[in-house]
Homo-oligomer: A and B are copies of this chain.
Amino acid sequence: MAEPRWLDEREMRAWNGFLAASALVNRRLDQQLKDEAGLSHPQYEILVRLAAAPGRELRMTELANGLLNSKSGLTYQVTQMEKAGLVRRRSCPSDVRGVFAVLTDAGSAKLEEAAPGHVAAVREVLVDVLTPEQLDALAEGLGEVGRRLRGQGA
């Protein structure tokens, strides 16, 4: 542990690039969503996941595990979105503790309104900047990174 393997030139460039791109892309998309649709990036993610879920509803824990923040963070965001009418809470019949977050029609409409601009922004800042080979490398490499972190963390 006293003398670790430092990062060589190539590794350093990859790491710095990842770090910078991560911060810049996230900030840019946050801003784009807020300007065009009045949504934060976390909120947009919630809408996407609910829209893709069967019955357009998910348990709070599933939603939080998907990819977000902590459970308490989700509680906060869902409360905000409920005030805005984008989602609704429904208690689970088979488990009194359980709560479903349900996508409302307004939430669905908001998503359809926001999606085109968001996709265009994703293309502009990331997807259309990369070559097909780089896209594959990202998908495979970072896919594996994500899988490991999910596995360990759980």
Residues of A whose CB lies within 8 Å of any CB of B are 1-7, 10-11, 13-15, 17-26, 28, 67-68, 116-117, 119-120, 122-123, 125-127, 129-146, 148-150, 153
Contact = CB atoms under 8 A, between A and B. Distances in A.
Given A25-B145, A141-B138, A132 B10 contact: yes
Contacts of A140: 17, 134
B135 A14 contact: yes
A130 to B, nearest CB: 5
B11 A135 contact: yes
A119 B4 contact: yes
Give 8 closest A-B pairs by Cβ, nearest first.
Answer: A137-B137, A134-B141, A17-B142, A13-B139, A21-B142, A24-B149, A22-B22, A20-B146
